[in-house]
Amino acid sequence: MLNRRSFVAAGASALAMLGSVRVTVGQGWGATRRSVRGMDANDPDLAAYRAAVAAMKALPPSDPRNWNRFADIHRNFCPHGNWYFLPWHRAYLVALERICRQLSGKADFALPYWDWTAERELPAAFTAGDPRSNPLNHLRPGFAGGRSLADDMVGAEVMSRVLNSPDFEAFGSVRPRGQNSTDASWQRRMGAKTEFEFNPHDGVHLTIGGDMATVEMASRDPIFYLHHSNVDRIWHAWNRRGNDNSPEILWQDFAFLRNFTHPDGSPWNVAVANLQSTAALGYQYESDTIGRQHLSGGEAFAADPVSTADKAPVTQLIAYRRLMDHDSTQANRGLRRIPLPMGGAFHMASADNDRAASRDRPIGISVPLGRPLSELIHPSALAASNVSTPGARSRRQRVWATIRDIDPPSDLNTRLRVFVNCGELSATTDATNPHYATSVSFFGGGHVHHRGGHARGMGTSGACVSVDLTPALSRISRTKQFPNDRIVVQMLPVCPTGTPTGSNVRPRRVDIAII
């Protein structure tokens, strides 16, 4: 296991480059990012954003502030599907914000955010007028015909699951498998996406369509930055609820080198450890409430602190952090007890698969446990699934399904619904079914097999997602479908467009971890 002494020796040369870091907190210190929902067309921040985008588009390609050149930073460096996803995109927004302050002349400019849980349609400022006169207007075919964002993508239940994630890697996606250094080559290697990334983040990208649907072009659309401002705000809210970011040195000490520039064109090299505080970066959010309005039942999620008594036990967090590094080659060989270095253990079982799920024919992958699930989970664990109950987190056990090496659909409008032990699953079963766990979108899915593209060096043969099955198991705990000696993970692709074969999804393996 990597310790701090060996890390420092191995990574000294890379960290030495951080001597060029400059943290700009004077100009715009304390700027407040506000919801675009409450802004009128002439709001000073919206006006400054329009002016800055127009100015960036008018700059020559040789200028690092040129709009398309700045957008290319995302194509060339962005991490998705690993634990650098959130801090990298935070730095990207800060870099844009500083350029916008310079070019607009508004020294306290703060990038607005699009709270898509409260506002399911595109903000009016981004659809008004002609693209030639409104630089924020952009081709977004996914919203043609009045389409809006789905409840199972950004709704109350989704955001509740996201904000109740017990550990940073369960919240902000999982480390690259096998990572053992902070070498820059790990920046874009695949770990596993968790629900925050594979559902609302990816789903919004693909629903908007056009440039937003591809990794290479997404950041050319001005709405990209408001989408990610909201993603960043939700990370801030998760922290404000008392959740800690990863303590691992492979995360904290990783440096984004020569990815970003200051407005004067000089490089801005920054370590993840310096991207954890919005205040230190010169901005704050007007609200930590997720989905203040327009949620079913009026429900909203504030950044209420999580007490020490409600935090998940350390052994559970360590177990989750070790999932991706565990050798899962022993598929179909029954349940294994996996000891942890600091004491304790978790249980794991696996099953391989060679079938594709289609729009008309869902599949179920049966993972044998060898004994009843009730013998592996404490009797009060599922009853403690309501984390709003004091002390619930500390009593709770969780069941995670890691769906590995997924061949993504060719039609990226496809969303993959995931169920557990649903006895009557059919093409018409929807997200209201008690066996439903989540829905997966595949932003960036077309790059998984491209060695020279976004997935370079990912180290797997396909996409990978980590799904918390606990809420669904809690709902069915008193029914005959509650797992006895096996957990069946079922997948149903749903796609409103294209041919049925275009939505086919083939997962190669499912790992079940009981923590």
d(CA 197, CA 169): 11
Digit-coded pLDDT (tens) for 484-513: 899 999 999 999 877 778 999 999 999 999
d(CA 443, CA 412): 7
How many residues comprise the chain? 515
d(CA 75, CA 187): 13
pLDDT at 14: 36
Least confident stretch, 19-23, 284-288, 402-406:
19-23
Least confident stretch, 28-42, 157-171, 416-430:
28-42
Q: Could you tell me where in the chain the CATH 1.10.1280.10 domains are found?
A: 4-19+27-119+142-298
d(CA 107, CA 85): 28
pLDDT at 234 over 90: yes
* Residue 515 token pair: 């923590």
pLDDT at 330 over 70: no
pLDDT at 5 over 80: no
| String of DSSP letters for 323-335 | TTTS----TTS--
Digit-coded pLDDT (tens) for 373-392: 988 987 567 754 544 444 45
pLDDT band at 264 (very low <50, low <70, confident <90, very high): very high
3-state secondary structure of 101: helix
**Over the range 86-107, which residues count as b (16 or more CB within 10 Å of their CB) and which as e?**
bbbbbbbbbbbbbbbbbbbebe
User: Beta strand pairing status for 283-285 and 31-33?
Assistant: parallel
**Does residue 326 contact residue 348 with C-beta atoms inside 8 Å?**
yes
pLDDT at 425 over 70: yes
* Residue 166 token pair: 């017990």
Better-predicted residue by pLDDT, 323 or 89: 89
Least confident stretch, 43-52, 90-99, 154-163, 295-304:
295-304
pLDDT at 332 over 70: no
Say what percent of the chain tops pLDDT 70: 81
pLDDT at 271 over 80: yes
pLDDT at 318: 72
**Does residue 72 contact residue 214 with C-beta atoms inside 8 Å?**
no
Report the mean per-residue pLDDT for the chain.
85
pLDDT at 69 over 80: yes
What are the residues whose beta carbons fall under 8 Å from the beta carbon of 375, sequence distance 6 or more?
none
CB-neighbour burial class of residue 78 (10 A; exposed 0-12, middle 13-18, buried 19+): buried
- Does the domain made of 4-19+27-119+142-298 have the CATH classification 1.10.1280.10? yes
pLDDT at 333: 66
pLDDT at 15 over 70: no
**Does residue 208 contact residue 221 with C-beta atoms inside 8 Å?**
yes
Digit-coded pLDDT (tens) for 429-475: 999 999 999 999 999 865 444 333 344 333 345 899 999 999 999 99
pLDDT at 42 over 50: yes
Least confident stretch, 17-26, 175-184, 337-346:
17-26
